[in-house]
Chains A and B, each alone.
Chain A
Amino acid sequence: MKGSSLTLHPEEEQLLRYLDGELPVQAAGEVRSHLEACWQCRAALEELQDVVSQCVHYRKNVLQRHLPTPPAPWVDIYRHFDEIDASLEPALFRRITRLLKSPFDTGAKKWALAAVALLVVLGLFYRYRQTPSVQAAELLRQAVATASAHPYQPRRIQIRTRNRRLTRPAVATQPAGFGTADADVLQAMFQRANYSWTDPLSAQSFQSWRNQLADKRDQVIEENQTYQIETSSSTSELRQATLKLRAADLRPVEERLEFSNQEWVEITEVPDDAVPPAPIGAGADARRAAGSPTAPPSETSNAVVTSAPEASAADELQVIAALHDVGADLGDPVEVSRSGSEVVVSGTGLAPARQQEIKNALGSKAHVVVRFSDSPPATAPDQPVAPNDAPAGDVRQLQARLAEQLGGRANLEQLSAQVLDSSESLMARAYALRRLAEQFPLAAEQELNASDRQLLARLRGEHSTALRRQVTEIDRELQPILAMVPGDPGSAPNSGNPTEPWQAATEDLFQSARKLDKLVGVMFGAAPSETSVGQLPVQLKTGLAQLHARLDIYERSNK
């Protein structure tokens, strides 16, 4: 026991968890006894504690001292509490509680009267509670509260009318509409009805509209694990609105609005997996996931109306090539889509300097619209992370073994940082290649003239060469670990179909790269493990061999 606790040094994360009191009792006990025995780890712990102290110092001397103080005096919060109390109690009930405010100096008669009144009110209240309008108000209130208690996740919605269809972010980042006449008409209709165009598919917007109606009738229907709230009014520009909430979490998933001018609008959530995994080429991804491969490319761009004429694939290619020249096709949150006669380049959360750089790169291109917004990519983690707590014990053991093999924890950490970095660069290339395949399917490629086709081939060639460089780099970095691991030649892919177009070879290449990235992530603790950790080194070696082979196939198809 003692021997093992002496030789297996806890990793840095475990030490930090230990310091933070986040280790389970038994594990904390093991770390504690290890620390008693091991000077090296005690020194590592002190180093960690030292950084923690500097952080505390930083909070006190930089953040607290130099961030601006609140600009106004703080509100009298008790007054607001009273307002909340008042809004939560029905009016009659409120009158009675006011009567009872000082109950001990009132007579018995007053008590009895109040008690009777109270019972009447309670009776009325419970009967009233059952009516659809109370149900609707209560459901909306809960849905709003639920939405505000959950992390904000960006999502996309599809807006459909009698003859138009567009897809856009659920919360519009372009306050002035989307720059097309048709979208402006829609926006104006929403404005006249006092309905939020910025965030139309939300309980909050529905509630705000409903609350300001002078007359309204509600209906609540519960079916197929959804609640459907239907509110109609004769005085509003919006005659009837129906909001569908998912029963499990009260998330608004669908909405239908019927306007007094006989127009209707249906809004649905675009499924999560249609949101692109990486920036450029979101349009193509969303299109595929939405199951409408024949839809025109303009459909899923930021605000695009199907009836508009299209910019050509060649225009889009020129824009992508310009972005490529400044490396903006490698992980920057930039989207390229075609909208009418224009190619729209949109980006979110880019630093001003980077925005300028991209604008400069696109400067001379005609028909290019650049839209940058600053909303951050919300809760997207910067590394692959476990959606749930994964049992990491096996991985820890493996890492401890690796550390031993590499001559210490510091060496393992250094290697892990290098490999994770290489893998990140590799994935940036893999995504870039996949986006090219999605944005230029065979049909679109055939529309291009010879020099554009050559340009496209050059882009692909540059990405695949860089990708190969990264695979070779990872290969080299992992050599000390994988040298002794037996390979698995049986699972190498076949040589591929020589007539297969590069578009088809891309997906295999991408999947192979993603598999490797995932394995690297698990091996170095940046991602949860889904399978047995024991096989990890072998899988990694096989994954590398497969990726090399996929690259060979890809490059052949690229010729």
Chain B
Amino acid sequence: MSSYPLGEELAGVVQKRRASMTLQNQVAQLFEEARVDVYRYLLSLGLYPPQAQEAAQEVFLRLYTTLKKGEDIQNPRGWIFRVAHNLGLKIRARQSSQTPYDPDLESQLAGSALDPEQNLLEREQTLRFHKAVERLSEQQRRCLLLRLEGLRYPEIGSVLGISPSAVGEFLRRAISRLKKDEL
């Protein structure tokens, strides 16, 4: 009689252990899929590659810790970018004496040997588009980059601490400026 509740208790522990394994697999899979995207987003915040990589790893470990503690995260991808954004800005604020990382894509694009698949015209077009993206305001560019990572307006809003309608407006302005610059 008395061993019945004990057995249930133990079954609970075993179940927990299995759930934990599933959780590990799920987060590991997300890590495989999204780590480079997060890393690139952190570069765009001005983090240097080693910092960005370390921060990207940290973000997934935080995700695991949070889920492990039983918190319900509706959209892990949105959560990851939100935490990455905050962590990235904190790292930048702490190392503000250093100039932010600049990959200098422009000279890379201009100077790279001509890709056999790409003709001169295409390269000029790409360069022009890149310059147009660089000319966007910081908030417009962040909205655009996050949208490119597949985040929806409310998720972008929660990353940047603004409302979904403001995200819509920033995106519209971004697209509209890119369109104008392309013409």
Binding site for B on A (CB under 8 A): 12-13, 16-17, 20, 22, 47-48, 51-52, 54-56, 58-59, 61-64, 66-68, 70-72, 74-75, 77-78, 80-81, 84-85, 88, 96-97, 100-101, 103, 111-112, 114-116, 118-119, 145, 148-154, 171, 173-175, 198-199, 348, 352, 373-376, 378-379, 381-383, 385-390, 392, 413, 525-526, 528
Contacts and interface: CB of A to CB of B under 8 A. Distances in A.
A116 B153 CA distance: 51
Interface in B98-129: 98-100, 103, 105, 108-109, 112, 126, 129
B46 A84 contact: no
Interface in B113-162: 126, 129-130, 133, 137-140, 144, 147-148, 152-153, 159-162
Given A62-B126, A145-B66, A154-B93, 8 more contacts: A20-B171, A22-B153, A61-B126, A81-B27, A84-B68, A119-B9, A151-B85, A174-B97
Contact of B162 (A152, A373, A376, A379): A379
A413 B169 CA distance: 13
Contacts of A70: 36, 39, 49, 52-53, 56
A74 B3 contact: no
A51 B175 contact: yes
B103 A100 contact: no
A22 B168 contact: yes
A328 B40 CA distance: 33
B179 to A, nearest CB: 5
B64 A81 contact: yes
- Residue among A16, A77, A389 with max Cβ neighbours from chain B (10 Å): A77
A376 B138 contact: yes
A20 B83 contact: no
Chain B contact-residue range equals 35 or more
Interface in B12-41: 13-14, 17, 20, 24, 27-28, 31, 35-36, 39-40
Contacts of B138: 376, 382
Nearest to B11: A103
A77 B27 contact: yes
A385 B86 contact: no
Given A54-B182, A151-B159, A379-B162, A171 B94 contact: yes
Contacts, number: 225
* 3 closest A-B pairs by CB: A151-B161, A385-B166, A375-B96
Contacts of A96: 13
B27 A62 contact: no
A66 B118 CA distance: 15
Contact of B86 (A114, A115, A151): A151
Contacts of B7: 111, 115
A151 B79 CA distance: 12
A212 B109 CA distance: 49
A173 B96 contact: yes
B127 to A, nearest CB: 9
A74 B35 contact: yes
Contacts of B3: 112, 115
Nearest to B130: A62
- Residue among B36, B139, B161 with max Cβ neighbours from chain A (10 Å): B161
A100 B137 contact: no
Contacts of A62: 105, 109, 126, 129-130
- Residue among A74, A88, A526 with max Cβ neighbours from chain B (10 Å): A74
Nearest to A82: B24
A300 B45 CA distance: 29
Contact of A78 (B28, B126, B162): B28
Contacts of A63: 40, 105
A119 B93 contact: no
Nearest to A379: B161
Interface in B60-87: 60-62, 64-66, 68-69, 79, 82-83, 85-87
A13 B172 CA distance: 5
Contacts of B139: 381-383
B103 A58 contact: no
Contacts of A85: 20, 68
A409 to B, nearest CB: 12
A13 B176 CA distance: 9
A281 B168 CA distance: 33
B100 to A, nearest CB: 5
B148 A17 contact: no
Contacts of B169: 13, 383, 385, 525-526
B161 A153 contact: yes
Contact of A12 (B68, B108, B109, B176): B176
